Chain A
Amino acid sequence: KAGVTQTPRYLIKTRGQQVTLSCSPISGHRSVSWYQQTPGQGLQFLFEYFSETQRNKGNFPGRFSGRQFSNSRSEMNVSTLELGDSALYLCASSELAGGQDTQYFGPGTRLTVL
């Protein structure tokens, strides 16, 4: 099976702009989770979607949002970008609930906010 794919791989934006990142999970996986990774904060959970429903959300402001489509592909959106949003954004898919099953991570999207 093909692995988790994320597009784009790299992105440069300026403050105040918005960005949409895409994640295609492994075929058959219904759970998609998003994480933000920074040197200072490590891996922080953003949210988890299962069968198009957001089931859990981390401690991030409302500027961070996401959705999942019927084919399990997921997108996350960050509006009104801030410098502190510069990070590696990782998505992970699993067959079962995100916290109970092996997470298969994609290569990530590296976002730089200038």
Chain B
Amino acid sequence: GQQVMQIPQYQHVQEGEDFTTYCNSSTTLSNIQWYKQRPGGHPVFLIQLVKSGEVKKQKRLTFQFGEAKKNSSLHITATQTTDVGTYFCAAGSGSRLTFGEGTQLTVNP
């Protein structure tokens, strides 16, 4: 089945530093979704990328979909304590989503 690898598994940053998480697949993806899960919470949808080379921004968050549609990244500029949580990428195929292992972000104030 489809697999997506996500790195790093953990990231600790000082508030104000940037953060990036990467998602890679060995196969071409039809779409990639990103979710955020706060500690003790449930995953919350952030964005979906569909087009090759697509770049989308949400305030301090920048999402990219690779030209070959096999990789994606999420970059957060100037992290804040409210960014704490686990960020998951998920590859959509038909009626199922396959999630990456997630990157757990902690932010030191």
Task: List residues of chain A with CB under 8 Å of any chain B CB.
Answer: 31, 33, 35, 42-45, 48, 50, 55-56, 58-59, 90, 92, 97-100, 102-108
Residue B1 lies at the interface, judged by CB distance under 8 Å to chain A: yes
Q: How far is the CB of B49 from chain A (nearest CB, A)?
A: 12
The reply to whether A105 and B43 contact each other, CB–CB distance below 8 Å, is yes
Q: Which residues of B contact A107 (CB under 8 A)?
A: 41-42
The reply to whether B95 and A50 contact each other, CB–CB distance below 8 Å, is yes
* Given A59-B1, A100-B92, A102-B33, A45 contacting B42 (CB threshold 8 A): no
Task: List residues of chain B with CB under 8 Å of any chain A CB.
Answer: 1, 30-31, 33, 35, 41-45, 48, 88, 90-102
Q: Which residues of B contact A44 (CB under 8 A)?
A: 99
- A selection of 6 A-B contacts at a CB cut-off of 8 Å is A45-B97, A48-B96, A56-B94, A56-B95, A99-B31, A102-B48
Q: Which residues of A contact B95 (CB under 8 A)?
A: 31, 33, 48, 50, 55-56, 97-100
Q: How far is the CB of A89 from chain B (nearest CB, A)?
A: 11
Q: Which of A50, A103, A104 contacts B97 (CB 8 A)?
A: A103
The reply to whether A43 and B42 contact each other, CB–CB distance below 8 Å, is no
The reply to whether A98 and B33 contact each other, CB–CB distance below 8 Å, is no
* Given A43-B99, A45-B98, A59-B1, A100 contacting B43 (CB threshold 8 A): no
Closest 6 CB pairs of A and B: A99-B92, A43-B99, A105-B42, A56-B95, A55-B95, A97-B95
Chain A residue with Cβ nearest B42: A105
The reply to whether B42 and A108 contact each other, CB–CB distance below 8 Å, is yes
Q: Which residues of A contact B92 (CB under 8 A)?
A: 98-100
CA distance A105 to B101 in the complex (A): 17
